[in-house]
Amino acid sequence: MKIHIEDLSFESIIGILDFERVNTQKIILNIEIEYEYLKNNFINYADVSQMIEDRVNTKQYGLLEDALLDLKNIIKDRYSQISTLYIKITKPNILPNAKVSLSNVWNF
C-alpha cells in the first residue's frame, strides 16, 4: 500500500534567516509512505499529518535538512512497517519568483 499526503500546509517558524526566526511562514509537505498492509496493522494518515504539523511547530527547525531527517526518524520510529518513505518540504513564499523545496526518499 502507498499513502499519499499531498499539500499538507500550515504556518510555522522554519529557516535560518533573521526574519524566518521571528515570523511564521507557509510550508507545504508532501509525503508518500509505502508499507505492507495487514489486517489491523494500518497507518492512519490523519495521525501522521497531525504528528508532522505538531513536530514542525514544536521544533522550529533552522534547516530544511534537519526537518527532513527528524521527520523521517519520528515517522519510522512510530510505524516500523514502513518500507519506503518520501518527504518533500516546500517554502512557497521565500523567494519572490520561485518555490523552494527539499526532498528525500528512504528505503528501509
User: What confidence tens digit (pLDDT) does each residue in 11-45 have?
Assistant: 999 999 999 999 999 999 999 999 999 888 899 99
Domain boundaries, the chain: 2-107
Mean pLDDT score, 86-90 = 98
Chain length of the chain = 108
Task: Please tell me the predicted confidence (pLDDT) of residue 71.
Answer: 98
Task: Please tell me the predicted confidence (pLDDT) of residue 68.
Answer: 98
Q: Which residues pair with 32 in a beta bridge?
A: 4, 86
What's the mean per-residue pLDDT of the chain?
97
The position carrying cell 533573521 is 18
Instruction: State the fold for domain 2-107.
Output: GTP Cyclohydrolase I, domain 2 (3.30.1130)
